[in-house]
Amino acid sequence: MVTALDIDLGEEILELKKRRNAVILAHNYQTADIQEVADYVGDSLGLAYQAKGTDADVIAFCGVHFMAETAKIVNPSKTVVLPDANAGCSLEQSCPAPQLDAFLREHADRNYYVIAYINCSGGVKALSDVICTSGNAVRIVEQAPKDRPILFVPDENLGAWVIEQTGRKMDLWKGNCYVHVEFTRDSIQRIKADHPDALVVAHPECTQAVRLLADEVCSTEKMIGFCRNAPVKDIIVVTESGMLHRLRRECPDKNLIAGPTDHCACADCRYMKMNTLEKLRNCLENLSPEVRMPEDLRVRAEQPLLRMLEQSK
């Protein structure tokens, strides 16, 4: 529900945006009120392209920290702010850069080609050969050198799905998204039984048991095309709850049903939901919290990101 306070805040945000010459980029998992004031709403890949291409002075990034950091890496002359600096990601946390560094040193004889899912720190990106998102992971893995073993970090579920799609063998880091592993075979089977004609679309961060129940597995942005073109009205959407707002806007004639977990009717990412309209107003006003990183680290993290942008064209 949009309140009078939201309308006031929304107007303040638009005013500040003009004053700061800022662009507001928001991930598909942001709350409805944030999506409504954003200039662009999309998945990690679309957001990375938008961040690189913008000529605004300030990027207000409504997503989690690694996404805002990616914006800074690819467009360093911009001031990048995010509403809540504590908006992390369980995948990022599952693969600390010093641990990956130690692993690569220990297995130096393997000469790994490291593919990092974008949900990781700048430190991990700097140790990688190329980055991927859920939207281009298959394409990126298909372009990996054939004569080198691949280490895929940090999401074992996305990695396993890419192995299924490409047939390419990869060693997987044991990380996962705490939100997507909450969906279970039972919880999805139950909602399917309630909606026998529904199709199921799931994010590749879900476990294989859940992916096997899906008619389509794809990134959040690709879910829009799938739902729009689906030959049925009912679609069960197995990903974070914010996606439902975006989908209902884009596909108003569909009945979009949130995939449930064993405990809840839908799944929220606590990190994505740390951002609020009020904090967005404050970060535009104060130009803080700001994303900064040492230039040598930024340069090392930029190379694999640019390789990704080039390879996913």
The interface region with ligand SF4, picked from 83-91, 140-148, 230-238, 278-286 by CB under 6 A, is 83-91
Of 20 and 273, nearer to ligand SF4 (C-beta) is: 273
CB of 270 vs ligand SF4, minimal distance in Å = 8
> Which of ligand SF4, ligand 13P, none is residue 28 near (CB under 5 to 8 Å by kind)?
ligand 13P
Residue in 64, 127, 151, 301 binding ligand SF4, rule: CB under 6 A: 64
Q: What sign for the dihedral angle of Cα 302, 304, 307, 313?
A: negative
> Which of ligand 13P, ligand SF4, none is residue 43 near (CB under 5 to 8 Å by kind)?
ligand 13P
CB of 239 vs ligand 13P, minimal distance in Å = 7
Q: Which of residues 163-182 bind ligand SF4 (CB under 6 A)?
A: 177-179
Q: Is 85 a residue that touches ligand SF4 (CB under 6 A)?
A: no
- Assess contact for 207 and 295: CB atoms under 8 A: no
- Assess contact for 168 and 227: CB atoms under 8 A: no
CB of 242 vs ligand SF4, minimal distance in Å = 9
CB of 51 vs ligand 13P, minimal distance in Å = 13
Q: Is 269 a residue that touches ligand SF4 (CB under 6 A)?
A: yes
CB of 131 vs ligand 13P, minimal distance in Å = 12
List, in sequence order, every residue forming a beta bridge with 24; answer none if it has no partner: 60
Kindly write down the DSSP assignment for every residue of 241-293, as one continuous string.
THHHHHHHHH-TTSEEEEPP-SS-SS---TTGGG--HHHHHHHHHHT-SB---
> Which of ligand 13P, ligand SF4, none is residue 271 near (CB under 5 to 8 Å by kind)?
ligand SF4
List, in sequence order, every residue forming a beta bridge with 238; answer none if it has no partner: 202
Count interface residues toward ligand SF4 (CB under 6 A).
13
Binding mask 94-123 for ligand SF4 (x = CB under 6 A): -------------------------x----
Of 56 and 223, nearer to ligand SF4 (C-beta) is: 223
In the sheet with 255-258, reading across from the earlier edge strand, the strands are: 216-217, 199-202, 234-238, 255-258
Q: Residue ranges of the alpha helices (H) in 94-170?
A: 97-106, 122-126, 137-142, 156-166
Could you tell me where the beta strands, DSSP code E, fall in the chain?
22-27, 40-42, 58-62, 79-81, 113-117, 130-132, 150-153, 171-172, 199-202, 216-217, 234-238, 255-258
- Among 156, 140, 255, smallest CA distance to 211 is for 156
CB of 217 vs ligand 13P, minimal distance in Å = 11
